[in-house]
A and B are shown apart, each in its own frame.
Chain A
Amino acid sequence: MTRDEIFTRVRTTLVDALNVDDNEVTPAARLRADLNAESIDFLDIVFRLEKQFALKIPREDLFPEAIFQGDPAFVANGKITPDGLAELETRMPYADLTEFRKDPKLEKMEDLFTVNLIVTYLESRVGK
């Protein structure tokens, strides 16, 4: 499956799960900030993707909930520590951390969850 094909399927999934329009689902769109997803919607998206792509998405994959739980080794003063960034890289190898590294505020972590992130994750799962 090509990246474009994956994107098209992801877009369909997000349109159904979030009641958004096709043209809102751009590769850069952030699920929370741009597409108004809430925690229950993230679950819905995972279930729909599992069905759409006929695969099992482990709960700690894709949208890991509360990755750091305030672990002082990973979060200090509202920012992700270097150790935390390394952990994030291991846990979410499919996430693009380039921008985030410049100002790794905990509250900005949710912006990592973009349409592109889902596509990249699925690409790693279903191959090309």
Chain B
Amino acid sequence: MLLKDQVAVVTGGSRGIGKAVVLALAKEGAKVAFVYKGSADAAKTLEGEVATAGGTAKAYQGDVGDPTAGERIVEAVLAEWGRVDILVNNAGVIRDKLFLVMEPDDWNVVINTNLTGVFAFCKAVAKQMAFKQRSGRIINVSSIAAEHVNSGQANYAASKGAINSLTRVLAVELGRRNVLVNAVAPGFIATDMSQAVRNLAGEDNLKKMIPVRRLGTPEDIAAVVLFLASPAAAYITGQVITVDGGLSLGAVSG
């Protein structure tokens, strides 16, 4: 097992990409604390699913958009398991609107969860990883929408672009203490979050834009997160790894 006895924290862990990450890390022996906001039933189910597979996962309720959540939850995890080896900042929301009708609330909700929440969780683990453990992995879930932008996503694209920059700066500052910080930038993944876009654009049309001709699965992303958390990625830091089946190449197919 790649992550035996390690402790991981995964935000937005009860559904979608986060759930696949929890399962992947737990399968490799990590004890996984995952954060969920509203999906209590899904969280319970996931705890059970991991336990049945012989792993350990524990759900923590919290709103990542609340700036105090990071410290509170990380402290609880440290009290329970004594260390944090892996942090996966996965929680994210969308509030798509054309900029001309985007209200401050639409902006704040997305920035608070997608960006300030990442800041808060990184802050909460940084001293532990850099000073106490002298090791750690932080993996931020970004999006190709940071660079390959979509209409209606000024808030979302800005939050993800900022995550990419934050990732690079943290990699520079924490590298000396063997804390590696990377991001994964998914393309179109078949989750609840992308459902509306998939409905609007039509899945067949979307698939034509993707060289490998399928939408991504949460497991496609979880596999790369696992890699970045694993010993094999010991010399990678400050990178944004695109996982999109080639979508961002922007090639015209046919």
Contacts of A87 in B (CB 8 A): none
Contacts of B177 in A (CB 8 A): 40
Contacts of B173 in A (CB 8 A): 40
Chain A, Cβ-Cβ closest to B175: A40
Q: How many inter-chain residue pairs (CB < 8 Å) link A and B? A: 12
Q: Is A68 an interface residue (CB 8 A)?
A: no
Q: From residue 119 to 136 of chain B, which have CB atoms closer than 8 A to chain A?
A: 127, 130-131
Contacts of B176 in A (CB 8 A): 38, 40-41
B127 touches A40 (CB 8 A): no
CA distance A47 to B176 in the complex (A): 17
Q: Of residues B127, B131, B176, which shows the largest number of chain A Cβ atoms within 10 Å of its Cβ?
A: B131
Contacts of A41 in B (CB 8 A): 176
Chain B, Cβ-Cβ closest to A19: B134
Main secondary structure of the interface of A (DSSP, over half): helix
Q: Is A96 an interface residue (CB 8 A)?
A: no
Chain B, Cβ-Cβ closest to A48: B131
Contacts of A123 in B (CB 8 A): none
Q: What distance in Å separates the Cβ of B2 from its nearest Cβ neighbour in chain A?
A: 27
Q: What distance in Å separates the Cβ of A87 from its nearest Cβ neighbour in chain B?
A: 28
Q: What distance in Å separates the Cβ of A37 from its nearest Cβ neighbour in chain B?
A: 10
A47 touches B127 (CB 8 A): yes
Q: Is B64 an interface residue (CB 8 A)?
A: no
Q: What distance in Å separates the Cβ of B94 from its nearest Cβ neighbour in chain A?
A: 35
Looking at chain B, what size class is its interface with the partner chain? Answer: under 10
Q: Is B174 an interface residue (CB 8 A)?
A: yes
Q: Of residues A41, A44, A47, which shows the largest number of chain B Cβ atoms within 10 Å of its Cβ?
A: A44
Contacts of B130 in A (CB 8 A): 40, 44
Chain B, Cβ-Cβ closest to A41: B176
CA distance A86 to B130 in the complex (A): 36
A22-66 toward B: CB 8 Å interface, digit per residue (1/0)? 000000000000000010110010011000000000000000000
CA distance A72 to B154 in the complex (A): 41
Contacts of A48 in B (CB 8 A): 131
B169-186 toward A: CB 8 Å interface, digit per residue (1/0)? 000011011000000000
A107-124 toward B: CB 8 Å interface, digit per residue (1/0)? 000000000000000000
Q: What distance in Å separates the Cβ of A41 from its nearest Cβ neighbour in chain B?
A: 8
Contacts of B174 in A (CB 8 A): 40
Contacts of B131 in A (CB 8 A): 44, 47-48
CA distance A41 to B174 in the complex (A): 10
CA distance A40 to B179 in the complex (A): 12
Q: From residue 141 to 180 of chain B, which have CB atoms closer than 8 A to chain A?
A: 173-174, 176-177
Q: What distance in Å separates the Cβ of A35 from its nearest Cβ neighbour in chain B?
A: 14
Q: What distance in Å separates the Cβ of B35 from its nearest Cβ neighbour in chain A?
A: 26
CA distance A38 to B127 in the complex (A): 16
Chain B, Cβ-Cβ closest to A45: B131
Apart from A40-B130, A40-B174, 10 more pairs, CB < 8 Å: A38-B176, A40-B173, A40-B176, A40-B177, A41-B176, A44-B130, A44-B131, A47-B127, A47-B131, A48-B131
On A, residues with C-beta under 8 Å from B are 38, 40-41, 44, 47-48
Give 12 A-B contacts (CB < 8 Å), ordered by A residue: A38-B176, A40-B130, A40-B173, A40-B174, A40-B176, A40-B177, A41-B176, A44-B130, A44-B131, A47-B127, A47-B131, A48-B131
